[in-house]
């Protein structure tokens, strides 16, 4: 396959960025999208040009590190991670535009690499159950209806990649945050801190500069792990209930 | 150097309790005066950092990824073992201990393995309390399954992403301590050296991967939780960033390296599709429960999956079923992998020549597509996404890939390396899996070390050390280490040769795979040693690393790691040469039974090979820790 790549190049956070065009003449349709970038980078180094910086690690769709905005869609044309996208999803001779995630709360570090530490901080604000190591009850003392356990798992399947934010015209992180809040809200272990968790995580989300939700459902459509927007509805309920009886008023 | 494993005296079942009682404690009010450095935030690192912070220690934690949650533990699929005996099927701590020692082909320490089995039950309790959504039954209690040929159902799981859910549990505990201010987290930061002074580990040198800034961090103890070194093969199921640098730097500063040649090769991975291949993807070995492995009896070069149905039954060789009638397709990982290799060596490989079929046609005929879809739907989808073939209609193609490394830094019962104050946890140490790891035991060991072992054992070291025994980063030992790191980075940037880092890495990987992979010979290993030495010499004169040190420079990161992999590769070859027996994942052609199976030599090799670094280009010195088996009787494995 022959592919024309238009890639966003930006030397650093402060530098001004621009699209650069690269021609690739020997792309195999069995290559993953990231392997195509490996080939591009190998060629660039050979020519003495700076290779394209991009985030990636596990390359099996679970670590959530890869993050390319491909032809106007996070992770490209399929509902999967960039690392699981293969070149057979593209046509010979096609031009592919690749950008980083674009959101105020995800500042660009270099080229296609963005800073998603805001996601970590949101979880530090309350995305946990306050138990210390040791001294916990036997695992089977906590019976959890299978339905609830499965629903909690569905929410917990989020890989924190940020595609939901990249997909949203408001750069809202509500799908991500709601998945985290839901996992704990659905489980008995999460009940003692249920209200403060919702309150604190939402507050941190706002402080990081993520936008609001206007129900376009673009996040759900692009989420590689199929996280449902019903989590957002649940988060809203959790948030209102916690605010109505908040100790922080 | 005399290796002291510090295994406590006394009956097996009492060793750990007694040892815990004998360990010194740090006064609660003094814990805040200690600083502990944790490198790596996978299961071992995140659980250790969180648990130590909960105890009151100050922790600095480091990961090279952009978030601790991305450490490669996240990718584990299958499950985690624990001797809960929730199924009333005869499991016990002793049985898990016994299975693990036997599965490791009698090359692990009894005392360590028993402790691992003992604390396995606490891990599940801990994870559930954190909100880890394990699979449950309709009654609301936890589900279990049998895994990797185990005779009991002791594996807890969370669909196909047990690793992610367990890591998110440990990550949430870590986040809580970051919020409490007890853990200071350094993302996108790579450890490049360990600082040793007065014979003790005193801190580390790191590089900020965004700014390139080199920094010194001092502490009372350093924990390396940095995973395995499977990427020495270039192609493996490890994440692209997984590397040996932290462990290797520690090795060069005096920590012995245990059993480096013990590598686990997993039989059911998606084969290489071309020269562009960057990593390999594992599919759960549960596929072998219903899939039948075969190749054509007569070589059919380039045979495609779509044409498999044209090969009549009589012309197929179901080689595992033929050679191992009682275990069939469910023989252990090393046996399945090796036999796939032999089939391909004979030219009978399908596709590229380096693949065998894993065929579900019979299972679909027998149980119906629906049943197969319910069991393996997500794996079939993943396979189709990567290869473009539909496994409901055509057989899968599989080939073995490097998956896990049992070798690692030598540690004693306290998880301390041969450098006082320097610890290794999880896959980074060598200790619990012997020559082969059982399925669903990696997650168990990572969390056992982090949650339930190190919080006890480190206290003893720190109490004896005293909180005032710490050196500042202005100490000459730090300055020297800083200079070393800087000059190495500058060297890498100054070569400006003709070959890329990846080209070197691929060459190294091929050499390792061909000569130090699934089966090894003395002749091949000697050849590999020479090749690696030549490649290494070429690397330091002909590698091309562009850019500078003061920026995000992914080529520079890779170059440093590959340089370390080359040195490690040579040590792996030395270790494989020394161990002229077949055991576990290490198969020496010269050591076979008359019918071609692995022949272990317990009289000569029932020891841990621990290697001591002696300086650049000096041969490493072998130290032996004899393994003592007081409880388990050594037997030869047989799957006929």
pLDDT above 70 coverage of chain B, percent: 100
Give yes or no: residues B395 and B529 share one domain.
Answer: no
Question: What's the total number of domains in chain B?
Answer: 3
Give yes or no: residues B531 and B583 share one domain.
Answer: yes
Q: What pLDDT score does B522 carry?
A: 98
Nearest to B54 among A110, A124, A133 (CB): A133
| Domain span including residue B574 | 485-601
Taking only residues 41 to 100 of chain A, the set having a beta carbon closer than 8 angstroms to any beta carbon of chain B reads 42, 45-46, 48-51, 53, 55-65, 78, 80, 84, 86, 88
| In contact, B338 and B396? CB cutoff 8 Å | no
Q: How far apart are CA B626 and CA B577, in angstroms?
A: 19
Nearest to B276 among A31, A61, A64 (CB): A31
CA distance A5 to chain B (A): 18
- The mean per-residue pLDDT over the stretch A144-170 comes to 97
Give yes or no: residues B309 and B256 share one domain.
Answer: no
Contacts of A125 (CB under 8 A, 6+ apart): A200, A201, A203, A204, B179
- A115 vs B: CB within 8 A: yes
| In contact, B351 and B302? CB cutoff 8 Å | yes
Q: Which letter, b or e, does each residue of B18-28 get, where b requires 16 or more Cβ atoms within 10 Å of its Cβ?
A: ebbeeeeebee
- Structural domains of chain A sorted by starting position, each given as residue range(s) with its CATH number in brackets: 3-109 (3.10.20.30), 116-129+141-248 (1.10.1060.10)
- A149 vs B: CB within 8 A: yes
Give yes or no: residues B218 and B83 share one domain.
Answer: yes
Q: How far apart are CA B419 and CA B221, in angstroms?
A: 10
Taking only residues 173 to 192 of chain A, the set having a beta carbon closer than 8 angstroms to any beta carbon of chain B reads 183-184, 187, 189-190
Q: In this structure, is residue B636 part of a structural domain?
A: no
Q: How far apart are CA B108 and CA B607, in angstroms?
A: 9
Decide if pLDDT at A249 tops 60. Answer: no
Give yes or no: residues B106 and B73 share one domain.
Answer: yes
Q: How far apart are CA B303 and CA B347, in angstroms?
A: 11
Question: Quick check: is B333 catalytic?
Answer: yes
Q: What CATH number is given to the structural domain containing B525?
A: 1.20.58.100
Decide if pLDDT at B462 tops 70. Answer: yes
Contacts of B368 (CB under 8 A, 6+ apart): none
Q: In this structure, is residue B565 part of a structural domain?
A: yes
Q: What pLDDT score does B148 carry?
A: 77
Query: Do A42 and B241 count as a contact with CB atoms less than 8 A apart?
Result: no
Segment B372-408, tens digit of pLDDT: 998 888 889 989 999 999 999 999 999 999 999 999 9
CA-angle at A161, arms to A159 and A164, nearest 5°: 105
Contacts of A128 (CB under 8 A, 6+ apart): B130, B172, B173, B175, B176
Decide if pLDDT at A248 tops 80. Answer: no
Q: What is the CA radius of gyration of chain B?
A: 24
| In contact, B610 and B410? CB cutoff 8 Å | yes
Give yes or no: residues B300 and B250 share one domain.
Answer: no
CA A208 vs CA A124, A171, B174, B183, B610: distances in Å: 13, 11, 20, 21, 49
DSSP H helices, A7-53, are 33-46
Decide if pLDDT at A153 tops 90. Answer: yes
Mean pLDDT of chain A: 97
Decide if pLDDT at B347 tops 90. Answer: yes
CA distance B276 to chain A (A): 6
CA-angle at B56, arms to B52 and B61, nearest 5°: 45
Q: How far apart are CA B283 and CA B391, in angstroms?
A: 13
Q: Active-site residue among B292, B333, B561, B579?
A: B333
* Angle between the N-to-C axes of helices A33-46 and B501-516, in degrees from 0 to 180, rounded to the nearest 10: 120
Q: What is the pTM of this model?
A: 0.98
Q: How far apart are CA B138 and CA A79, in angstroms?
A: 31
Which of B89, A159, B300 lies closest to B308 in space, CA to CA? Answer: B300
Q: How far apart are CA B393 and CA B423, in angstroms?
A: 50
Nearest to B502 among A42, A50, A64 (CB): A42
Decide if pLDDT at A193 tops 70. Answer: yes
Q: What pLDDT score does B146 carry?
A: 87
Q: In this structure, is residue B611 part of a structural domain?
A: no
Give all strands (DSSP E) within B372-482, no chain letters: 396-405, 408-409, 422-424
Mean pLDDT of chain B: 96
CA distance B548 to chain A (A): 10
Give yes or no: residues B535 and B551 share one domain.
Answer: yes
Q: In this structure, is residue B610 part of a structural domain?
A: no
CA B58 vs CA A125, A132, B36, B69, B201: distances in Å: 20, 16, 6, 21, 17
SS3 A105: coil
Q: How far apart are CA B506 and CA B349, in angstroms?
A: 22
């Amino acid at each position: 396959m022959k592919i024309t790549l238009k890639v966003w190049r930006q030397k650093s956070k402060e530098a001004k960025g621009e699209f650069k065009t690269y021609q690739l003449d020997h792309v195999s349709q069995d290559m993953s999208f990231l392997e195509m970038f490996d080939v591009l980078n190998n060629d660039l180094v050979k020519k003495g040009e700076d290779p394209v910086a991009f985030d990636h690690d596990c390359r099996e769709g679970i670590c959530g590190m890869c993050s390319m905005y491909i032809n106007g869609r996070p992770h490209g044309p399929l509902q999967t991670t960039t690392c699981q996208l293969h070149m057979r999803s593209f046509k010979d001779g096609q031009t592919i535009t690749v950008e980083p995630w674009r959101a105020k709360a995800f500042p660009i570090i270099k080229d296609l690499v963005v800073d998603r530490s805001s996601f970590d901080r949101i979880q530090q604000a309350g995305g946990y159950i306050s138990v210390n190591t040791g001294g916990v009850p036997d695992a089977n003392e906590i019976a959890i209806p299978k339905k609830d356990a499965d629903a909690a798992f569905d929410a917990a399947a989020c890989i924190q990649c940020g595609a939901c934010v990249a997909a949203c015209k408001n750069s809202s992180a509500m799908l991500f945050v709601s998945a985290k809040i839901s996992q704990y809200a659905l489980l008995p272990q999460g009940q003692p801190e249920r209200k403060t968790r919702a309150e604190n995580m939402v507050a941190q989300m706002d402080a990081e500069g993520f936008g609001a939700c206007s129900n376009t459902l673009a996040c759900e459509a692009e989420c590689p792990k199929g996280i449902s927007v019903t989590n957002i509805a649940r988060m809203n309920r959790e948030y209102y209930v916690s605010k109505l009886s908040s100790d922080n008023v | 150097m005399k290796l002291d494993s510090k295994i406590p005296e006394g009956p097996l079942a009492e060793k750990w309790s007694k040892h815990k009682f004998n360990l010194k404690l740090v006064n609660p009010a003094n814990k805040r005066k200690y600083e502990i450095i944790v490198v790596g935030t996978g299961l071992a690192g995140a659980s250790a950092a969180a648990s130590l912070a909960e105890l009151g220690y100050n922790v600095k934690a480091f990961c090279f990824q952009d978030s601790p949650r991305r450490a490669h533990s996240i990718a584990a699929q299958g499950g985690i073992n624990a001797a809960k005996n929730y199924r009333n099927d005869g499991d016990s701590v002793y049985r898990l201990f016994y299975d693990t020692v036997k599965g490791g082909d009698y090359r692990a320490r009894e005392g360590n393995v028993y402790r691992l089995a003992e604390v396995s039950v606490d891990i599940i309790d801990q994870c559930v309390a954190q909100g880890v959504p394990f699979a449950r039954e309709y009654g609301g209690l936890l589900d279990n399954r049998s895994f990797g040929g185990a005779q009991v159902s002791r594996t807890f799981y969370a669909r196909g992403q047990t690793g992610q859910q367990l890591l998110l549990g440990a990550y949430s505990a870590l986040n809580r301590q970051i919020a409490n201010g007890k853990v200071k987290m350094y993302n996108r930061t790579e450890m490049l050296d360990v600082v040793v002074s007065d014979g003790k580990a005193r801190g580390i040198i790191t590089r900020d991967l965004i700014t390139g800034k080199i920094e010194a961090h001092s502490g009372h103890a350093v924990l390396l939780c940095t995973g395995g070194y499977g990427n020495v093969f270039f192609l493996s199921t490890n994440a692209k960033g997984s590397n040996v640098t932290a462990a290797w730097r520690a090795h060069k500063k005096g920590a012995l390296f245990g059993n480096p040649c013990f590598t686990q090769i997993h039989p059911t991975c998606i084969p290489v599709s071309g020269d562009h291949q960057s990593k390999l993807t594992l599919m759960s070995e549960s596929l072998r429960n219903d899939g039948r492995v075969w190749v054509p009896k007569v070589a059919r070069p380039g045979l495609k999956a779509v044409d498999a149905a044209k090969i009549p039954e009589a012309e197929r060789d179901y080689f595992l079923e033929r050679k191992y009638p009682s275990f069939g397709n469910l023989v252990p990982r090393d046996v399945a992998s090796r036999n796939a290799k032999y089939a391909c060596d004979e030219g009978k490989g399908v596709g590229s020549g380096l693949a065998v079929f894993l065929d579900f046609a019979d299972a679909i005929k027998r149980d119906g597509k629906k049943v197969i879809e319910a069991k393996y739907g997500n794996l079939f989808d993943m396979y189709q996404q990567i290869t473009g073939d539909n496994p409901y209609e055509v057989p899968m193609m599989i080939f073995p890939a490097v998956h896990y490394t049992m070798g690692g830094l030598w540690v004693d019962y306290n998880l301390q390396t041969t450098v006082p104050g320097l610890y290794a946890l999880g896959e980074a140490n060598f200790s619990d899996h012997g020559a082969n790891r059982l399925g669903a035991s990696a997650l168990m060991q990572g969390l056992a070390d982090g949650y339930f072992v190190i919080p006890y054992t480190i206290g003893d070291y720190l109490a004896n050390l005293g909180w005032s025994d710490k050196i500042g980063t202005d100490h000459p030992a730090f300055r020297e280490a800083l200079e070393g790191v800087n000059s190495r980075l500058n060297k890498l940037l100054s070569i400006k040769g003709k070959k890329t880092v990846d080209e070197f890495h691929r060459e190294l990987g091929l050499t390792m795979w061909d000569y130090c992979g699934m089966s090894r010979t003395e002749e091949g290993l000697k050849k590999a040693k020479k090749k690696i030495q030549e490649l290494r010499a070429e690397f330091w004169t002909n590698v091309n690393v562009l850019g500078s040190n003061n920026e995000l420079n992914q080529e520079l990161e890779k170059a440093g790691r590959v340089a370390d992999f080359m040195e490690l590769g040579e040590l792996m070859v030395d270790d494989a040469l020394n161990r002229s027996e077949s055991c576990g994942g290490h198969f020496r052609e010269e050591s076979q039974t008359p019918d071609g199976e692995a022949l272990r030599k317990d009289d000569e090799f029932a020891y841990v090979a621990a290697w001591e670094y002696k300086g650049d280009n000096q041969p490493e010195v072998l130290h032996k820790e004899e393994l003592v088996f007081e409880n388990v009787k050594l037997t030869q494995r047989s799957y006929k």
